[in-house]
Amino acid sequence: MVNMNKNMDAKFSAMENMLKAFIIQAGASSSAHKHGKSAEHGRCFFCGGEDHFQGDCEECKRLIRSGHLKINPEGKLRLSDGSLIPGFPNVTTLLE
């Protein structure tokens, strides 16, 4: 029983360390995406422009003003009916 408890403690400790590492890694990657800039490409997620973030994207703002897009209560960009913007193969920006 003592050996089993030690083994369980070791496994829980390893899982805790993995979760901590994951949280740190997720925090680092989400901060790059926080302002609508792709960490991989250094461009606006919405249109692909390299001179601005998604929050400053004039094309995105135009589509929000026209009612084609909206921002949900969580701050996420959605279609006018609130659904996710669909992704398709070989599409690199939300605008596409």
Please write the tens of the pLDDT for every residue from 47-88.
888 888 888 889 999 999 999 999 888 888 899 898 888 877
pTM of the predicted model, to two decimals? 0.54
- Say how far apart CA 61 and CA 64 lie, in whole Å: 5
Q: Where are the alpha helices (DSSP H) in the chain?
A: 2-33, 58-65
Q: What's the pLDDT score for residue 30? A: 45
Q: Where are the domains of the chain?
A: 2-79
Helix (H, G, I), strand (E, B) or coil at 36: coil
Q: What's the pLDDT score for residue 29? A: 46
| Residue 28 pLDDT greater than 90, yes or no | no
**What value does the mean pLDDT of the chain take?**
78
**Count of C-beta atoms within a 10 Å radius of residue 67:** 8
- Say how far apart CA 45 and CA 40 lie, in whole Å: 10
Residue among 61, 90, 92 nearest 77 (CA): 61
Q: What's the pLDDT score for residue 76? A: 86
Q: What's the pLDDT score for residue 17? A: 73
